[in-house]
Amino acid sequence: MKIFAYCLREFDEKPMFDRLAEEFGAQYGYSTEYPSPDNVLLARGFDAVSCTPCDMGADMLQRFHDVGVRYVATRSIGIDHIDLKKAGELGMGVCHVSYEPETVADYAIMLMLMCCRNMPHIMNRSLVQDYSLRGKMGKDISHCTVGVVGAGQIGSTVIRHLSGFGCKMLVYDLHRNPALEGLAEYVPLDDLYARSDIITLHAPSTAENYHLVDAHAMDRMKDGVILVNTARGALVDTEALILGLESGKVGHAALDVLEDEAGLYYANRMGDVIVNRQMAVLRSFPNVLLSPHTAFYTESVVWNMAYKTFKGVRDMMTHTENPLVILPGN
């Protein structure tokens, strides 16, 4: 079993890959760069490529297939960056990873608390030694109604953990989870928008969910609503969000994910002119918190991602049943 890993971080992932290669009796090569037409040939002679969210569209899959790669293992839960239709046509196997939902759920709750207490503004003012109180007053999350959009593993964990804060919780999902009965009230999405003081997004990125939070959705929300997104950047129409922040409709936004973040987050861009005007505008607001897609980032999660990459490739190659295999390949 031979795996070529793109976007491999030498400071945390590589030691894990070293250990796992020995445990699985595998070989691996790596590049710290994103896969591109310029470096596809690095994967020649390897059975599989491993990557983080990046361009794995039809053209890139064809290029990898042409050099002999037969499996794609993404070190992420999300698979929306992979053209599954093209992979199926080529007979390429595809797998992804899973990790503890508590990691992202607790990060989302942290962002809610930071917004409730105006922490971005407070910390920015403390940098210039402004320790006065004017303009820093927050509100108690216990007195808020929190709307959770998406009640999968992460959304459900948010609800369970938030239940200890005593806040009222609303939830929208296409499927009911009996375990949430008594903890949250299932409501239509429009009702959730209209009644929530805080809205946290935990839905997958699909064609149906594209810009789930757009200008029309924001019109239905409370004035001063807090919006938290630790799911996928495409769930939020960024231009509409900017207008909502400028008008005061959105009181705070905490975004761990952003539209068009590919090639930006996880890279050291210090000193660069970053061509992303939406990001620049969002960073200018004192009531916006941007974190660079780090909600997942704990030691146990990174280990899980590395381990399930090796296991996923092995299981695809040996035709072993694995719930994380999306396409088994030929």
Token reading at 227: 């919006």
Active site residue 261: yes
**Which candidate, 68, 10, 16, 57, places its Cα nearest to that of 35?**
57
Which residue is catalytic, options 232, 252, 259, 314?
232
Kind of pairing, strands 325-327 and 93-95?
Answer: antiparallel
Q: Which residues pair with 74 in a beta bridge?
A: 51
Cα dist. 75→9, 112, 116, 140, 313 in Å? 12, 27, 33, 37, 12
Token reading at 1: 């079993």
* Contact in structure between 207 and 213 (CB atoms under 8 Å): no
Active site residue 202: no
Active site residue 293: yes
Token reading at 80: 């929306």
Q: Report CA 234 to chain centroid distance, whole Å.
A: 10
Angular region, 253: left φ>0, alpha ψ -120 to 50, beta rest: beta
Which residue is catalytic, options 70, 75, 261, 314?
261
Cα dist. 21→1, 12, 24, 158 in Å? 9, 15, 5, 35
Which residue is catalytic, options 75, 202, 252, 293?
293
Q: Report CA 192 to chain centroid distance, whole Å.
A: 22
Q: Give me the active site residues, please.
A: 232, 261, 293
